[in-house]
Amino acid sequence: MLDKIYTFILIGAIAIIGNWIGYDVSPIVALPGMLIIVAITVSGFIVEKLLPVKLPVVIWVSFIALLVTSPIFPGNESISKATGHINFMALATPILAYAGLSFGKDLKEFKKLGWRIVVVSLIVYTGTFLLASLVAEIGFRVTGKFH
Amino acid sequence: MKKLLSWKIQLIVLALVVVAEFIGIKNFDLGIGVVALFPMLYALIIGAVISLPKLKLLSEKDMNIAANILGISFMLFVAKLGTLMGPSLPQLMDAGLSLTLQEVGHFFGTIVFGLPIALLLGMKREAVGATFSIDREPNLAIIAEKYGADSPEGRGALGVYVCGTLFGAIYLTILASIMANTGWFHPISLAMGAGVGSGSMMAAMTGALAIIFPESANDIALFAGAANLITTIVGTYVCIFFSLPVTNYLYRKLEPVLGRRSRNSETKA
C-alpha cells in the first residue's frame, strides 16, 4: 500500500508540473486539489481492502470522488474548487506516458498474432464506441435533450 | 505484490510530460477535417518509441513496472472525473435515459460488428472470446474461468487484449476525431461513446473530443467519465449473464452461414 501512495504522490507531482507548463496553473494553486485527488484515490484502495464486498477499486474511487463533491458533503464547494484547478488533460498525460513506456512489453506477443485477430480487434473497438454513441444520439434526439 | 518503484521510469515520464506539455495542442486542418494533436498523444507515442526492444533503452523489468504503474495511475484520472460528477448530478440524471441506453451500445457493439466479421474471416471459437467484450483484464478472467486461458476462446480474447493494449488508445483517438468531424453526432453522444471501460482509451478519446469541441470540454469529461463508470460497474455482470451467452447463441446461428466450411482453413488466432 505504501508504494502505491508514493506512486500516486509522484504521478500527482508530475501532473502538477504538466498542469503548470500546459495550462498555466501555478503549482501552489494546484497543490491542494492534487492532494485531494490523491487522498480520494488512496481512500478508494483502503475502502476496497476493508469492505467484505468485492468490487473493483475504480468503482470505490469514483464513488468517493462523487460523494465528496456532491451537495450533501460538508465543504463540497471548496473541494470542487480546489480540484477544478487540475486540468483533466494534464492528469492524463503522465498516464499515457506509462502506457507508452510499456508498449515494448507486448510487442513480442503481438508478433505472434495473425492478421485476422488484428482486424477483428479494431472492429470490436470501433463497434463498442460507435454503437454507444449512436444509441446516445438517438436517445438525445428522442428526448429532445442537447439539440 | 506488483513492483511499482523505479526512478528511471518516473524520470522518463517527467521528461515526457514536460516535453509534451511544452509542444502543446496543435490543430491541423486537412481540408476534410481538423486533426487534433495533443500532449497525451505525444507522451504515448514518444514513450512507445523509447520502449522499442531494438533501442534497448528499457529492460523487460522497466516495462513491467511502467505497466504496473499504468494499472493504478488511471485511478487518479477517474478520481478527477468523479469530482466533476458530484456537482453535476442533476445534469447526469437529466441525461439518464441516454446514459442508460448507450450502455447497451457498449456491450452489443463489440458483438454485432465483431462476430460476423470474425466469422467471415474464417475464425472459429476464437471469435467468441475475441468479440464478446472489449477484452480487458476483467473480461479475460471471465473467459479463462469458463474455457481456460489456453482454449481457442482464451486465445481470441488474449489477441484482442494485446492489440487493445498496444493500439487501442491511438486507434480510438483517431476514430473519435473522425467521428467528431463528421458532425453526425452531438459532442456529448461521442463523449458517452468514449466510456468504453478502459481508463487509458477513455482518457485519450476524451482529450481528442475536448480539443475539437473546446466549449464543451468539461461536459465531455463529465459524460465520458459517467459512461465509463457505468460500463465498469455493470461490466462484469453483463459479460457473464448477457454478452457471453448471446455471443455463443449468435455463434451457433451465424457460424454455419458465415463460417468457411473447409476444414483446412482452421484458424490461428
User: Are A64 and B82 inside 8 Å of each other by CB?
Assistant: yes
Tell whether the torsion through CA atoms of B147, B149, B155 and B156 is positive or negative: positive
Q: Cα–Cα distance between A125 and A129 in angstroms, integer?
A: 6
User: Are A129 and B77 inside 8 Å of each other by CB?
Assistant: no
What is the three-class DSSP state of B35?
strand
> Is B107 within 8 Å of B238 (Cβ atoms)?
yes
> Is B228 within 8 Å of B79 (Cβ atoms)?
no
Q: B186-205: string of b/e by CB count within 10 Å (b at 16+)?
A: bbbbbbbbbbbbbbbbbbbb
pLDDT at B110: 96
pLDDT at B170: 93
A20 CB neighbour count, 10 Å cutoff: 18
> Is B97 within 8 Å of A139 (Cβ atoms)?
yes
The HSE-up count of residue A51 (CA atoms within 13 Å, CB side) is 13
Does B76 contact chain A (CB < 8 Å)? yes
What are the chain A neighbours of B266 within 8 Å (beta carbons)? none
CA-based nearest distance A22→chain B, Å: 5
The beta strand positions in chain B, using DSSP E, are 26-29, 34-37
Does B83 contact chain A (CB < 8 Å)? yes
A27 CB neighbour count, 10 Å cutoff: 12
User: Are B106 and A99 inside 8 Å of each other by CB?
Assistant: no
Q: Measure CB to CB from residue B164 to each of A65, A121, A147 and give the nearest one.
A: A121
Does B7 contact chain A (CB < 8 Å)? no
Q: Cα–Cα distance between B254 and B131 in angstroms, integer?
A: 14
User: Are A102 and B64 inside 8 Å of each other by CB?
Assistant: yes
Residues 6+ apart with CB under 8 A from A74: none
pLDDT at A102: 94
pLDDT at B269: 46
Q: What are phi and psi of B35, to 5 degrees?
A: -105, 125
Q: Cα–Cα distance between B108 and B115 in angstroms, integer?
A: 11
> Is B161 within 8 Å of B198 (Cβ atoms)?
no
CA-based nearest distance A28→chain B, Å: 18
Q: Measure CB to CB from residue B5 to each of A3, A70, A147 and give the nearest one.
A: A3
What are the chain B neighbours of A68 within 8 Å (beta carbons)? 83, 86
Q: Cα–Cα distance between B69 and B15 in angstroms, integer?
A: 16
B residues 173-192 lying closer than 8 A (beta carbon) to A: 175-176, 179, 184-186, 188-190, 192
pLDDT of chain B along its 269 residues, tens only? 688 989 999 999 999 999 999 999 988 877 777 778 899 999 999 999 999 998 999 999 999 999 999 989 999 999 999 999 999 999 999 888 889 899 999 999 999 999 999 999 999 999 999 999 999 988 999 999 999 989 999 999 999 999 999 999 999 999 999 999 999 999 999 999 999 999 899 999 999 999 999 999 999 999 999 999 999 888 888 999 999 999 999 999 999 998 875 444 455 44
Return the amino acid letter for B251.
Answer: Y
A26 Ramachandran zone, left/alpha/beta (phi>0; psi -120 to 50)? beta
User: Are B86 and A12 inside 8 Å of each other by CB?
Assistant: no
User: Are B67 and A105 inside 8 Å of each other by CB?
Assistant: yes
Write the DSSP assignment of A59-119 as a string of letters. HHHHHHHHHHHSTTSTTHHHHHHHHHTS-HHHHHHHHHHHHHHTHHHHHHHHHTS-HHHHH
What are the chain B neighbours of A69 within 8 Å (beta carbons)? 82-87
What are the chain B neighbours of A118 within 8 Å (beta carbons)? 159, 163
Residues of chain A with pLDDT below 70 are: 146-147
Assembly ipTM: 0.93
pLDDT at A147: 58
